Amino acid sequence: MDSLPTFRFSPNAYELGFFVAEPLLCSCCERDREWRYRGSFYTRADDVRLCPWCVADGSAARRFGGSFSDWLGIDGVPIEPEEPLAVDEDAAREVADRTPSYPSWQQEQWRSHCGLPCAFIGFVGADDLPGLLPDPVFAQDVDGGLGFPGDLLRSYLSPDGDLAGYLFRCVVCDAHRLHVDAS
């Protein structure tokens, strides 16, 4: 039995339910596996069922020409392809092609810090903010840095509601960052 792969940019992927313990025949490695990826996978192929190993080693992204997170949704990836990236390209590729995405209302976005994509940690609501706001990087995101009024987030942010909070942590300096998505 192969041990389950881990994801540096989604270290809580199993606890958060991005994979479900369920037998499947993986569409990529074509092996009988016990864990199925249940997040988004942007590909033209139909009915792709993936095991964690084929997510982690990039084989699913290569075989099906797909990605798990939107490339342009990663902080530091410019809209114009000729412009330079403000985030490490290999690491950003790892997020798009070898990291499970997380469920969100709209297209997911991936925060970056210190020149690298952050790790997705989990879902947060208003009750979680007091513990995180001493972090100045996080406070900046809450207080208007994301285009939402700070008062609104302090009152209505919810881990799974209409104004949902997504928590990231910098893999270099451990600063926290926030993504907010409204239904």
Closest CB to Zn ion among 2 and 160?
2
Closest CB to Zn ion among 48 and 114?
114
As measured in angstroms, the least distance from the Cβ of 114 to Zn ion is 3
CA–CA distances in Å: residue 11 to residues 15, 48, 56, 71, 171? 9, 23, 12, 20, 11
| Options 54-62, 89-97, 139-147, 153-161: segment touching Zn ion (CB under 5 A) | 54-62
Among residues 102, 74, 100, 104, which one has the least CA distance to residue 89? Answer: 74
Closest CB to Zn ion among 148 and 168?
168
E-state strands within 38-108: none
Quick check: 56 and 5 in contact, CB under 8 A?
Answer: yes
Q: Determine, following the binding rule CB under 5 A, whether residue 54 of this chain makes contact with Zn ion.
A: yes
Closest CB to Zn ion among 51 and 87?
51
- The residues near 83 (Cβ < 8 Å, ≥ 6 apart) are none
Q: Determine, following the binding rule CB under 5 A, whether residue 133 of this chain makes contact with Zn ion.
A: no
Q: Determine, following the binding rule CB under 5 A, whether residue 29 of this chain makes contact with Zn ion.
A: yes
| Options 3-11, 40-48, 90-98, 170-178: segment touching Zn ion (CB under 5 A) | 170-178
Q: Determine, following the binding rule CB under 5 A, whether residue 4 of this chain makes contact with Zn ion.
A: no
Tokens of 80: 């114009």
Q: Determine, following the binding rule CB under 5 A, whether residue 182 of this chain makes contact with Zn ion.
A: no
d(CA 160, CA 36): 22
Residues 103-122, interacting with Zn ion (CB under 5 A): 113-114
Which SS3 state, helix, strand or coil, does residue 168 take?
A: strand
Largest CA distance in the chain: 50
Closest CB to Zn ion among 28 and 157?
28
E-state strands within the chain: 19-25, 32-37, 112-113, 116-117, 119-124, 163-169, 176-182
Q: Determine, following the binding rule CB under 5 A, whether residue 72 of this chain makes contact with Zn ion.
A: no
Q: Determine, following the binding rule CB under 5 A, whether residue 28 of this chain makes contact with Zn ion.
A: yes
The residue ranges that bind Zn ion (CB under 5 A) are 26, 28-29, 51, 54, 113-114, 170, 172-173, 175
